[in-house]
Amino acid sequence: MGKKTKVALAIAAASAAAWAGSKAVSKPQKRDEKEVLQATKPIVLAHRGGAHLAPEHTMIAFEKSYNLGVDGFEVDIRLTKDEEIILFHDDSVDRTSDGVGFVKDFTLEELKQLNFGYHFQDLEGNFPYREEKIEVVTLRELFETFPNTYINIDIKDGPDTYEGSLMPSKLWRLIEEFEVENRIVVTSFFSEQVDRFNLYAQNRVALGAGENDVRKAFTAFSSQFGHLYHPKVDVFQIPPKSGVVSLDSPKFINFLSKLNIPVHYWTINDTDTMRHLIEIGAKGIVTDRPDIAIAFIEHLQDQNMEDLF
């Protein structure tokens, strides 16, 4: 036996011993069940209120989706100049309103003067709200208007910004004020924001996976050391694909499911993809087209396909 062969065998033996040792001392810890994530069928969350049916993050969109029968809303939040939490995706108001500038430079009252339906184009290609004034919506108003609805809240202000530094504590205080801990999921692209929020929430609110959480989980899943993965979040809300990495794997979904972590996929607007994702174990669909998604889920139930869930 050559020297290189002996070295290779020694490395392989050491790796196997390390794997066996880690397997013996490390047991995966399931996340505690969160009330908001307990469902008996695949759930439908209206993305920004249902962004293809009405101006995103506006009361028109939320009311339309609610009347269609969605299970909840997926919303983004940002902080205004006077430190009010509004429902808004971009850092500037240019794309959705008739104004120009960054959210952080406007007070809530100033934002209320803009028309946030100005750039909305309906399915027929028309701009039906250009002559109206569609107001920005605060998170407070959403809590007041829909007191029993599941709301997935995505913190958009980054942790290295002034607004982002304030957001976790302000968000927690608002959730605590309305006593909605059991119907909220808080997430962010920035895993650090989720961690900061949980310093206040102390696991009393369901947490969604940030980018680093997804990367860690998928790396653990793809390796032989998945048993070393200890999740800090309660739900994964992810796209089917991130770059060249496919995240719509039934094995990945099962890996997370064993840890009490459901997977919701965004942003899904066609029934073929919805069917595929639900068949492989997805627990939720985030969509711009709640009309399509609700009809599809009802169709599945009519076909007695609840066992797919």
- Does the structure show a pLDDT above 70 at 298? yes
Cβ pair 228, 260 in contact under 8 A: no
pLDDT of residue 300: 86
Residue 18 maps to a domain: no
Rg (CA), the chain: 22
* Nearest 10 degrees: Cα torsion 262, 66, 210, 163: -160
Residue 33 maps to a domain: no
Cβ pair 201, 210 in contact under 8 A: no
Summarize the confidence of residues 186-203 as an average pLDDT: 98
The CATH number given to whatever domain includes residue 80 is: 3.20.20.190
Per-residue pLDDT band at 3 (split at 50, 70, 90): low
Residue 108 maps to a domain: no
Residue 102 maps to a domain: no
Number of structural domains the chain divides into: 1
Summarize the confidence of residues 186-204 as an average pLDDT: 98
Closest CA to 309 of 262, 240, 270: 262
Residue 100 maps to a domain: no
Residue 111 maps to a domain: no
Range of the domain at 170: 41-91+140-303
- Does the structure show a pLDDT above 70 at 9? no
d(CA 291, CA 288): 9
What mean pLDDT is reported for the chain? 91
DSSP state of 226: G
Residue 61 maps to a domain: yes
Whole-structure pTM value? 0.89
Residue 25 maps to a domain: no
pLDDT of residue 5: 52
Q: What percent of the chain has pLDDT over 90?
A: 82
pLDDT digits (tens, 9 = 90+) for 64-119: 999 999 999 999 999 999 999 999 999 999 999 999 999 999 999 999 999 999 99
Q: Which residues are bridge partners to 264 per DSSP?
A: 237, 284
Q: What percent of the chain has pLDDT over 70?
A: 89
